[in-house]
Each structure stands twice: as structure tokens, then as C-alpha cells.
Chain A
């Protein structure tokens, strides 16, 4: 059995017939080949799969693709400007060395941009608490926090 799914991903209308059990992250990675959204766990805890659903940061491994019916999805691939210029958060991550292996990075950047939307001038403590749902095994978090602070200071 398949079901029709209609949604907007990174500014483009997408239509597909899918198995209703398909997770949103699977749909993005396997159907659309948007492999920038990563899977790091099976318990909704690592945050590597974080995307924006109607502007909110959401763990895309935790919802069905069908739950995004008619929604707007933004993934890491859609964050940069149309001309390819990186989003200020991406720039800050690069300049602050907020990434090493890069695996947690797309989810981290998506969470961080959502965090600043909610709270444009967060304290260090608020940043650390706000990124609690995203694990990074490489960076020790310090430069990720610095990147968010840098981005916040610039906007």
C-alpha cells in the first residue's frame, strides 16, 4: 500500500507515493537523496537528523514522512542562499572550527539556527541547554558554542 505525499522541501514542491511507514528521515535520504541529514541513533537522541519542519527544529527520525504532509521542510542542503553563499551559521561554524568529522554537523547547524530564531541573543548557558538534544563526539562542544555566539553577535 502506498500513500500520496505532498510537501515542500527546500523551496521545491515534492510529490511522491510512499509506504506509510516511511520515516521523514528515510524519505529525505532515500527518496530524495538528500543525504546531508544523517542518522546517528535509533532512539531519537543524537539529533544528527534534525531538520526544520514549518520553521521548527524537529528530529526527522522521530516522525513519519506523512506527518509532514503539506508542510515546509528545510534541510541542511537548503540552508545556504540560492547563489551558494553559506548561511551565517554555516560560516560561523567554519570560522570557529565548530565541526570535525562533520557527522553531527548538519543536525547541529539546523538546531542552532532554530535556537537563534527563538532567542536571538542567548547566553552561553542557554546555548548549551538549547543544544542538549544534539550529540557531538568530536568537538567537545566548545567551538560549537562559540560558533553560535559568533553568529548571534553578527546578526
Chain B
């Protein structure tokens, strides 16, 4: 750990530099949204629907308004009267029939109807939080409770309650992707077909910091400031101003300060921050809102929740011929910000995995239900795709009696670039390298002996594989636009060199745990040849940063880092001109190396700091040709996605008496392209793996099918992975640099969550295979595993 001995710069690219942000986080000096207070602030409490589906007959607020400390109460009617719009969806999916998806209105406070438990009905603003909460109890809402539907697999059947009248059979869209005729033909000629029914379990993101916001309005400037726990403040501002509140963007500043984890759930524009921003002007007070955890469960966008039928056609030697996938994806009660794209664009395009499967067809039905909206959660579509592909492959290998690694090798893509049948072109990869590394580290050769040894202890040991791929570095704006994105997906960066040669970097990426203040500073320090300590990174403030699309989809370094590299190129190009003047040489004779501008082939040189100083004190400076100052901004739009990929091998032990499954060994060999900070990358992998293991073994959002109540609405009912639920991981990286961005990086934030669920589940199945078990649903809880064993023995 620490300095990279091979780099000229102790904290340059490749060094496990300790993090700049840690001092404040470790000493209690972090500045999270709920830590921010202003004199005279008021507090908001949201009254939420106790019903999954109901008509609102009336709302009476008189008694509540008279309660102590109440400043104001607003309902959907107030917002409608003020012409506040609905929360928008940022991605248009076009139905197979060419029709646009159904977009039911998503009012920030319910109008006429509530559509899920937790739906916002009214907001109370009061002098204290407790006063707001107490007053909310006095609001009388007369509901006419309607039948509800929560289960994605059955919601589209005839006779089910309609969540929205405008969406018959609760269908938002039926979307098709791939060559159906080619797939059907391949299936009819196949020697073997492997079939799976999959429920990709519904998850609740549960960042440990609950969502929070503080909204201010300044009468003197007629402008708003919103502090919000959010992953992409510029996107938040764009959506809120242009689509909902009808405000000019330059009058709204959005600041996402320290954010305590996001995992996707803090990408989206939510009702609460929208309502308090609007209300801040109405009541002319600063308004603060912090979610209680029970509200996080019922109002943060959930993840996954697919019901899928998947088939893989193979020839007699185990070569993949075609894949056919039919998925019903739960979208929840309303379309959240990126909800429509997750089970389509981010899912079906990944179904080739690491394999040469020549024909693939997917049909996805987006389904409305009376549940919390479902949107991107760490991996977003790609874990669901990986689970389909890798479970099919593992099951096919079992059925055909081919070794798990061998069936994968037989089908690996080996030449690049490779155009898949589902619309992506992989620029580069080396799947054999990660599989070989993982096999070695996991000591697969020793597995039979470990299995025997476990048997003697009464435990059933199994091994599972997962060779995943993801498309990251979202995204080439023109491709995304052609696929329905309603926003660009570039990134912006600004390098501000100060007169003494220190640097402030402004990035549109946002860090909520990823450590950008460190990683980005390493990139800048190395490129400019200046001390790491002299570089500060600023993120999360629309008032200070030129623009930004934020952090999700493992895009920060690949896209945000590339924007910084482009800005650095401009800094160096200008520096060369300044240096040429000062050294009395031609521009073209200046080279920049190790932090010095040199006249090539001579010992004449100027340090970076001297040139920076000259840019701000331009006494000896080409003022006739060049502006003073050294400050450059760049926007970078990627030309392709990046394709991190890897091989994971998991071993579990199942106690047949209790059904308890323990992950006893986990090896991940990942190819993230070049790596700037190996320590941070490892940490990202660890965290992702535990979220994936959580999905495989523990986590499950449960709705009561009758009442539509969220039964897993607290930490007592929703099993979060804890320290003693998971093992130590062995993490390795192999490197094939990305070919199309300046750092050669691919992204690492989601890999663990994408790769691990099928590895764990396949290991559980392998442990139970002698009992005849061939499938296992997630989460593989002790009860479910025990029941499966009992059924198998019966």
C-alpha cells in the first residue's frame, strides 16, 4: 500500500495512495446533508399513503394547520394550482408496435389517487421536525381503498387491478431486441435446449445515509439553493427546473455535499426535494427534510424484480447456438428517472455475455404495479442479464456433463473488436486470462478434496462460476439518444491552475464513497508532474462546476476522468506556448516531461509552477498572441461503452440440517483495464461482492399480495449483510486497457454486484447436486435451502 515504486510520482497513476477524504470522515468532520443547518430553518414531514392503491376522496388539513409550530401544509391540489409538473422519466422506450411507452403522470404529491404504500400525500412544514410529524397525524385523509397488484409475474394477467387507467393490463411497453427469426430457427435445429425460470429478487438499496435535502430561497436574488444527497446534481437541477418547477436553471444551485452511499438510489429526482424547493419560496423559509429509515424503505427506488423465462440452444458439443429470453420487469407504480431503460437497454444488450452466441432475442414487458418505483440499483440491468446468462451456462454444463470452465472456454469470444447480436461492439477483452487466474487462485484442482473433507464434517460443499461482462462508461450520447435517452451522457471537467502552481479540479462526476478526490488527484498529479498534495478535487456543486452528468454506471473515471485528461491536454498545450516565449524557443520545440517544460535536446527548462506563475503575472508573456491565465475546461463524450469483465469462482458450504449456507471461498479476477488506485479498486470490488452475496443469500423486498403492504420495511425484516455474513475475498486484476479513452480505464464500481449472484447460486446448486437439485431461487435463505433439501429427499 502507499506509494507506487515504479512511478516517478509517489502518488501517481498505479499507486495505492491513501485517500484525501478520509481525514474528515474519520474525525467526524464530514459534511452530509443532514449535518447542514441554517438559522431559522423549518422542517418538512411527508404524510404518506398507508394503502397500496386508493382513491383520495378528501383531505382535511384544518386541524393540522392549527397545530403548534405549523408553518404550512401543502397537498397535491396546491401543487396543481401552482402548475407544478410531474416527475419525468429520462428515457423513452418504444414499444414493439412502434408506440411510445405509457407514461402515467407522477405528481410529487398525490392527486386524486395513491399508487403505492409510501406515496406522498401531503407535506407539513413546521418549526421543528416533531411538530411537523405530530401535525401530520391530524391530517384527515378519506381513502376509498382499491384492489392492488404487486407481483410482476401476474400483474399483466386479465382481471388484475389496473394501476393506471392509461396502461391496459398494467403494461408500460413490450419491447423486443434481436433477431427473433434467426433465434427460432437455431432452436429448432438444436441438439440440446436448457431452460430456466428465474425470479430476480427485488432489492432495497439501503445506502446507510438516508436521503435528505435542505432547500433555501433568497428573495434578494430570486434564486434557490438545494442541498441534497444526490449522485448527479446537474441532472437533478435540469430535471427539476425544466420539467417540474418551470424555473430557469441559472436560478437554482444544487449542491450534493458528502453523500453517504448511493448505489443508484440517489441518482433520481424524487418528490421530496422537489416539493421543499418549491415550498421554500412559498413560505420564504429554509426547509429541511431527512428521511427516517422506514421512509427510505418505502420511497427510495428499489432494484431488480424480474420474472424471466430463459432458454439456451446448444449443439451436442456444448457450443451456444442461440438464446431466447422473455422477461417481465417490475417498474413499480410510476416511472422513476431511468426506470424504463434499466430492464431494456441496460439488460438485453448484455445477454451475449462473454460468448459467441450467434443469435439472441429478448422480449421485455415493463409492468406497472402498486409498489415503490423500481430503477437502477448497483449494476442496473447488467446483474439481471448476467444472472440469466451465467445460470443458463452453468445449468447447460451440468446437463451436458461438460466441466464449468470448459463450456465457457468453448464459447468465449477470442477476437476483438467483436460485434454482438444484441447491439454492442466489445473493443477489447481477454476472458481466458481472468478465468485462468481465478482458477489458479481458487485452487480449483483441490476442490474435490475440500468437498470430501467437508462431507466428513457433515457439510455439503459446492463450487460455482460466473464469467460476467458489463457495459460501463455510460455512454456515447448519440447512441444513447438513438436508443431513447432524453439526456446527453458526456462529462465535463475543469482544471484551474493557481498562480503558485497548485491546482483545483472541478469534475461533473460525483463521489459518494468512490474516492474521486484521491483518484482524480493522482491522475492530475502524474500528468502535470506536481505533488499530489497540491491538487484538490471539487465535485457536487452546480454553482462551481461547469456541468456534469454525475456518477452511475461505473462511469466516473472512464468518462469524467477522460474529460479531466482532455482539459489537462489543453493546459499543457497552453503551457508550452508560454514556455516557448519565456525560453525563446519555437512552440514546437517544447516538450513537457516530469513537470517541466523543456526545449527539446537542451537543458533549458521551466518548472510547471514557473509557467503557471507567468500566466498570472504576465510580465514576460506573449500577450499579443495568448490570453493570460491558466484555466481550461473540457467536455468528453465517449465513442463506445467500456466493457469490464471477469471470472468469479465461489465455494459454499451448506449445512443440510439447517439449510444455512456459508460462502467459504470467493475469488474474483476482474479486468478493469488500467488501474489508477489499486487499493480503491479492491475496495469497490469488496463492496459490490457483498451486495451481490446479499442478493443471493439474504435480501428480499416482500409485498403482501393481498394488501400490498411492504412487509420488509425495516432492518428487522430486510436482511442486510453484516460483517459475520461474509468471508474475506481474494481479488485479482488482469489488464487489457480500454482502447478508446485516454486513460485506458473501464470502470470497477459495479462488477462485484454483477458477477457474484450467479456464482453463489450455482455453488449452492452444486453443493446439492447429488440430491438431484438443479435450480435454486434467490435469496437462498436457510429456510428455502432446507425446504429444497427436504423436497429433494422426499
A145 and B729 alpha carbons, distance in the complex (Å): 12
User: Which residue of chain A has the shortest Cβ distance to B296 in the bound complex?
Assistant: A41
Q: Considering the complex, give the chain B residue whose CB is closest to the CB of A78.
A: B28
Q: Which of A1-9, A52-60, A62-70, A124-132 contacts the other chain? A: A124-132
Distance of A25 from chain B, by nearest CB (Å): 11
Q: A101-B207, A101-B209, A109-B26 are in contact. Are A38 and B18 (CB under 8 A)?
A: no
Q: How far is the CA of A35 from the CA of B260 in the complex (A)?
A: 14
User: Which residue of A41, A76, A128 is within 8 Å of B28 (Cβ)?
Assistant: A76
Q: Report whether B26 and A105 are in contact in the complex, using a CB–CB cutoff of 8 Å.
A: yes
Inter-chain contact B716/A137, CB cutoff 8 Å: no
CB of B716 within 8 A of CB of A102, answer no
The A/B interface has a contact count, at CB < 8 Å, of: 175
Indicate if A119 sits at the interface (CB-CB under 8 A). Answer: no
The answer to whether A140 touches B26 (Cβ under 8 A) is no
Report how far A102 CA is from B207 CA in the complex, Å. Answer: 11
Interface residues of A in 87-112 (CB under 8 A from B): 90, 93-95, 97, 99-106, 109
Main secondary structure of the interface of A (DSSP, over half): loop
Are B22 and A94 in contact (CB-based, < 8 A)?
A: yes
| A67 CB to nearest B CB, Å | 19
Q: Check B18–A94 contact: CB distance below 8 A.
A: yes
Name the CB-closest residue of B to A41: B293
* Chain B interface residue bracket vs A: 35 or more
Cβ-defined contact, B26 with A46, below 8 A: no
B293 to A, closest residue via Cβ: A41
Q: Is A86 on the interface with B (CB-CB < 8 A)?
A: yes
Given A42-B293, A101-B513, A144-B723, A93–B687 Cβ distance below 8 Å? no
B19 contacts A38, C-beta separation under 8 Å: no
Quick check: A143 and B683 within 8 Å, CB to CB?
yes
B261 partner residues in chain A, CB cutoff 8 A: 100-101, 103, 137-138
- The one of B258, B682, B689 in contact with A97, judged by C-beta atoms closer than 8 angstroms, is B682
B263 and A137 contact, CB distance less than 8 A: yes
Q: Does B143 contact A (CB under 8 A)?
A: no
B533 CB, nearest partner CB in chain A, Å: 15
The residue in A36, A103, A144 that gathers the most chain B C-beta atoms within 10 A of its C-beta is A103
Given contacts A40-B293, A86-B27, A100-B514, A135 and B687 within 8 Å (CB-CB) = no
- B689 contacts across to A, CB distance below 8 A: 140
A33 interface hit (Cβ, 8 Å): yes
Residues of A within 8 Å of B32, CB to CB, are 35, 38, 103
**Which of B23, B26, B209, B714 has the largest count of A CB atoms less than 10 A from its CB?**
B26
By a CB distance below 8 angstroms, the chain B residues around A139 are 683, 686-687
Select from chain B the residue with minimum beta-carbon distance to A139. B687
The reply on A134 being an interface residue by CB < 8 A is yes
| Nearest CB of chain A from residue B615's CB, rounded to whole Å | 35
- The interface centre, meaning the residue of B209, B292, B515, B716 with most chain A CB atoms within 10 A of its CB, is B209
Residues of B contacting A48 with CB < 8 Å?
208
CB of B28 within 8 A of CB of A34, answer yes
Decide: A102 and B258 in contact? CB cutoff 8 A: yes
- Interface-centre pick from A40, A45, A76, A77 (highest chain B CB count, 10 A): A40
B305 → chain A closest CB, angstroms = 19
Docked Cα-Cα span, A81 to B715, in Å, equals: 35
Determine if B415 is an interface residue (Cβ-Cβ < 8 Å): no
- Report the bound CA distance from A34 to B30 in whole Å: 11
Known contacts A77-B28, A97-B680: does B687 contact A43 (CB below 8 Å)? no
Chain A proximity of B4: nearest CB distance (Å): 15
Are B27 and A101 closer than 8 Å at their CB atoms?
Answer: no
Mask of B10-31 contacts with A, CB within 8 angstroms, 1/0: 0000000011011111111110
Select A38's contact among B22, B209, B686, B722, beta carbons within 8 Å. Answer: B209
**Chain B neighbourhood of A124, CB < 8 A:** 728
Interface: B712 (CB within 8 A): no
Residue contact A41 to B686, C-beta cutoff 8 Å: no
A43 to chain B minimum Cβ distance, whole angstroms, is: 5
Instruction: Report B9 CB to chain A, min CB distance, Å.
Output: 20
Distance, CA A26 to CA B282, complexed state (A):
29
B19 touches A94 (CB 8 A): yes
Return chain A residues, CB-CB under 8 Å to B24.
102
Q: Are A141 and B723 in contact (CB under 8 A)?
A: yes
Give chain B residues whose Cβ lies under 8 Å from the Cβ of A45. Answer: 715-716
Judge whether A40 and B28 touch: CB under 8 Å: no
Interface residue B160 (Cβ < 8 Å from any Cβ of A) = no
Closest partner residue, chain B, to A126 (CB atom) = B724
What CA separation (Å) do A135 and B261 show in the bound complex? 12
B715 & A41 in contact (Cβ 8 Å cutoff): yes
B515, B685, B716, B724: the one within 8 Å of A129 (CB): B724
Contact B26 A86 (CB under 8 A): yes
A66 to B210, CA, bound (A): 26
A134 CA / B720 CA spacing, docked (Å): 11
Mask, B675-686, CB within 8 Å of A = 1, is 000011011111
| A37 in the interface (beta carbon within 8 A) | yes
The 5 A-B pairs at the shortest CB distance, nearest first, are namely: A36-B28, A103-B260, A102-B25, A140-B686, A101-B513
Chain A residues close to B by CB (< 8 Å): 29, 33-43, 45-46, 48, 75-77, 79-80, 86, 90, 93-95, 97, 99-106, 109, 124-125, 127-129, 131-132, 134-145
A sample of 30 inter-chain contacts (CB < 8 A) reads A33-B37, A35-B28, A38-B209, A40-B210, A43-B715, A46-B715, A75-B28, A76-B26, A76-B28, A94-B22, A94-B26, A97-B679, A100-B683, A101-B25, A101-B513, A102-B22, A102-B24, A102-B260, A103-B30, A103-B32, A124-B728, A135-B208, A137-B207, A138-B513, A140-B685, A140-B689, A141-B726, A142-B729, A143-B683, A144-B723
